[in-house]
Amino acid sequence: DADVTQTPRNRITKTGKRIMLECSQTKGHDRMYWYRQDPGLGLRLIYYSFDVKDINKGEISDGYSVSRQAQAKFSLSLESAIPNQTALYFCATMGSGANVLTFGAGSRLTVL
């Protein structure tokens, strides 16, 4: 099994629908992150969490919300999806005192 698991891997939805992307990890890492990837723009940070009770906005948090249900689970929600949220979304984790992110395989979201 993968260290960082994202579900769903692919999702097509319609404008205005609520969508949740889930991330779970078996690394035991405290820190979890959500990024989105758009062609030519690299990865941009949406939200991050350093602990279960810690939630921080990233560079592009508007239109998104997150929930850190447990140390191992960090979900990303789009309350009312819009077409420009079509992107590849990555969850990542990092251990305290470490430097390297471990990424999930990504969730491809298409909003029609």
Read off the DSSP letter of residue 50: E
Contact 93, 33 (CB under 8 A): yes
d(CA 7, CA 9): 5
Q: Which residue has the tokens 């990424």?
A: 103
- Window 60-89: residues binding other proteins (CB under 8 A): none
- In the set 8, 15, 54, 59, which binds other proteins (CB under 8 A)? 59
Smallest gap from Cβ 18 to other proteins, in A, equals 25
Smallest gap from Cβ 8 to other proteins, in A, equals 14
- In the set 50, 52, 63, 73, which binds other proteins (CB under 8 A)? 50
Q: Which residues contact 16 (CB under 8 A, 6 or more apart)?
A: 80, 81
User: Which chain residues interact with other proteins by CB under 8 A?
Assistant: 4, 31, 33, 35, 40-45, 48, 50, 58-59, 90, 92, 94, 97-106
